[in-house]
């Protein structure tokens, strides 16, 4: 069973000091559970129940449960202080709410599901067509391949995004190589951003010269090409033109074609330094 990316199901994590902080106190009780108390008598805990589920509770009636199966698939959960970070954000999110109940779980079919006591629900699964599918109460989006091996995003609001086979090949040669969850990241990101639109389209392709081309239904056009000297050139139909190259000292030089130039590199002491052709320097 594929490991589902659960970014959609988790709020952004904020760090905090795991200690007594003024009128707040974070500590571990005798059962090994994380606990929090504040001067205004707000109390919260993050513990593991007898079924292996991870459960957040507070004294304002809020409860969030991550089933054992779901918790085992959470990316990064074994990193130091991950639970501390999560606990801190849950406190921040729910301390001004009351009687909210949420459940994150994996069902018997291996689908990732979310539901709450306010009638909201979300599902991330692989459908019978082999497409990755995200759905909630009113929205549905899929990510799959066509007969030409192009990756296609579609949703029920008429939006469509196409990534050509050749374009994806360039991505796999870069830093996305080996990312087994790239589809999940891509679908959830598109559902969040493109899903806000109606009848919108985007295309990412590679032309016969190996240049990356982008266009959308709002009239935007972008071209990115690389010459024999490893210089990248960016151009769009809104008048923006950039060239990016490295010099013999391994400095990155950016030229916008309008007389503005920026040089980024390290000085003789190894410190990063940025300077432009107008005499400005940053380090």
Higher pLDDT, 22 or 29: 29
pLDDT band at 72 (very low <50, low <70, confident <90, very high): very high
Higher pLDDT, 16 or 92: 92
Higher pLDDT, 122 or 258: 122
pLDDT for position 50: 95
Whether the per-residue pLDDT at 237 is higher than 80: the answer is yes
Strands 201-206 and 160-163 come out as: parallel
- What digits encode the pLDDT tens for the residues 154-205? 999 999 999 999 998 887 765 544 444 678 888 989 999 999 999 999 999 9
What pTM does this model have? 0.71
């Amino acid at each position: 069973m594929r490991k589902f990316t659960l970014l959609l199901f988790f709020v952004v994590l904020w760090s905090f000091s795991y200690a007594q902080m003024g009128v707040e106190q974070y500590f571990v009780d005798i059962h090994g559970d994380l606990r929090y108390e504040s001067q205004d008598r707000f109390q919260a805990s993050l513990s593991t129940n007898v079924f292996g589920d991870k459960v957040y509770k507070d004294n304002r009636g809020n409860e969030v449960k991550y089933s054992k199966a779901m918790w085992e698939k959470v990316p990064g959960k074994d990193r130091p202080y991950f639970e501390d970070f999560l606990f801190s954000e849950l406190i921040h999110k729910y301390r001004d709410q009351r009687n909210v109940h949420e459940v994150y779980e994996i069902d018997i079919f291996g689908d990732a599901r979310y539901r709450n006591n306010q009638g909201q629900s979300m599902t991330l699964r692989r459908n019978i067509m082999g497409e990755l599918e995200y759905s909630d109460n009113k929205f549905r989006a899929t990510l799959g391949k066509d007969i030409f091996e192009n990756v296609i995003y579609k949703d029920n609001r008429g939006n469509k995004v196409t990534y050509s086979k050749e374009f994806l090949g360039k991505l796999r040669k870069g830093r996305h190589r080996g990312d087994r969850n790239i589809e999940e990241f891509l679908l959830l990101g598109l559902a969040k951003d493109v899903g806000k639109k109606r009848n919108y389209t985007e295309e990412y392709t590679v032309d016969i010269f190996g240049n990356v081309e982008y266009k959308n239904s709002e009239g935007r056009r972008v071209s990115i090409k690389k010459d024999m000297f490893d210089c990248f050139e960016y151009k769009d139909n809104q008048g923006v033109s950039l060239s990016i190259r490295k010099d013999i000292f391994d400095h990155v030089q950016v030229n916008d074609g309008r007389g503005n130039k920026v040089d980024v590199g390290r000085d003789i002491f190894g410190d990063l330094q940025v300077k432009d052709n107008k005499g400005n320097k940053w380090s």
